[in-house]
Amino acid sequence: MIKYIGSKRTLIPVILEAVRRASNAHSVIDLFSGTSRVGHALKAAGYRVLSNDHNAYAATLARCYVQADAEDVLEDAKKLVREFNGLKGEPGYFTETFCVKSRFFQPKNGARVDAIREAIAAKGLNPDLEAVMLVSLMEAADRVDSTTGLQMAYLKTWAPRAHNDLELRVPEVLPRAKHGKGQATCLDALEAVKVLEADVAYIDPPYNQHSYLGNYHAWESLVRWDKPEVYGIACKRVDVRQRQSIFNSRPQFAGVMRKLLAAVRAPVLVVSFNNEGYLAREDMESMLAALWDGQGKVTTIENDFKRYVGAQIGIYNPQGQKVGKVSHLNNKEYVYVVSRECLAERLAPMQAAQTEQMGLFA
């Protein structure tokens, strides 16, 4: 899957085990689905997953990895991958914006993106199959980009992978889950909680001021294919300035998070949050304990992980001179599990395992 800050790739076993131990669930809401790594893993475990994200590229990833089922789309997807891999490059909006005006991709690959994206648009595919092909193209482009994983800036010299030729692959689409077909929506989280209902809600909100739309604007333009006006060295979509999430606002975060949690339609909540986020651990635990008129019972599982690579290599000025230093290499990720009943006994083996693992790296 695509390179993504805040990805829960290494935390997936913890999240799956928390969901399993906390409930006899058949369905799970993934309210801020991002790359859909978590939703994909939940679907593979048999849960019916209801994914949501307000960015179109993320909702498309969810439509591919959660909503689309292998038995419905894989044969057609394989044929289309073979067909599109045979297309010649045709420079267009993507090449001009992300290869000429900026330098995220080599022009040869930008031209291939343009040609394939236009071909997808011309096919008039059903929504699930179209999402699978858009994800195939997005992931192919991600494999030949020249960034550290964010589209805020590109590398000063080409990354070795940028010299490779863009090639589509069939995404890892799963068969329909044991407990039913998944669903992908593209709504603001505060609207999604009004219409989504499940046995468990997994909530992984933005931690800080960084906009996922701003960080991954090229994928948004690739999926929407609306060819918007852009600004700045990174050629961001102009709507990055207007489509701002309230969850990225420090003054408003606590209030909007409290409102969101109170509206979630699920008896068990699993919440991911970072120690560099707007809320400290004790504040999040207090907020969760206040749910259901103060009946929320909270168990916290603590996990160590390495910081995003861009935070590990120091701070450089436009001339490439190092002008800052790395403050720390490791962060803590907290997984909070909250229910009306106390789940500490069920989750105790997980807490013990994480404590032992952290001791190995102390």
194-217 pLDDT per residue, tens? 999 999 999 999 988 889 999 999
More confident residue, 9 or 63: 63
The rounded distance, in Å, linking the Cα atoms of 175 and 69 is 5
Confidence (pLDDT) at 208: 86
pLDDT digits (tens, 9 = 90+) for 1-40: 798 988 888 899 999 999 999 999 999 999 999 999 999 9
Q: Quote the tokens at residue 256.
A: 């909007």
Q: What is the pTM of this model?
A: 0.90
Confidence (pLDDT) at 359: 44
**154 neighbors 66 (Cβ within 8 angstroms):** no
Q: How many CB atoms lie within 10 A of CB 295?
A: 12
Average pLDDT over residues 208-228: 96
The pLDDT > 70 percentage for the chain reads 90
Q: Quote the tokens at residue 213.
A: 């739309």
Confidence (pLDDT) at 344: 83
Pairing type for strands 268-274 and 48-52 reads unpaired
Average pLDDT over residues 302-327: 57
Alpha helices in the chain (DSSP H): 12-22, 37-44, 56-62, 70-85, 93-95, 107-123, 127-142, 189-195, 212-215, 217-224, 250-263, 281-289, 291-294, 309-312, 344-360
Reply yes or no on whether the pLDDT at 87 is more than 80.
yes
More confident residue, 323 or 118: 118
Confidence (pLDDT) at 40: 98
pLDDT digits (tens, 9 = 90+) for 115-168: 999 999 999 999 999 999 999 999 999 999 999 899 998 999 999 999 999 999
More confident residue, 260 or 362: 260
350 three-state secondary structure: helix
Average pLDDT over residues 71-98: 98
Domain spans of the chain? 70-172+214-245
**138 neighbors 169 (Cβ within 8 angstroms):** no
**213 neighbors 240 (Cβ within 8 angstroms):** yes
More confident residue, 359 or 11: 11
Confidence (pLDDT) at 330: 62
The rounded distance, in Å, linking the Cα atoms of 339 and 320 is 50
Q: What is the average pLDDT value for the chain, to the nearest integer?
A: 91
Confidence (pLDDT) at 353: 63
The rounded distance, in Å, linking the Cα atoms of 273 and 185 is 22
Average pLDDT over residues 91-111: 98
Average pLDDT over residues 72-95: 98
Give the Å distances, CA to CA, from 288 to 23, 31, 198, 335.
17, 16, 18, 12
Which of the four pLDDT bands, split at 50, 70 and 90, describes residue 349?
Answer: confident
28 three-state secondary structure: strand
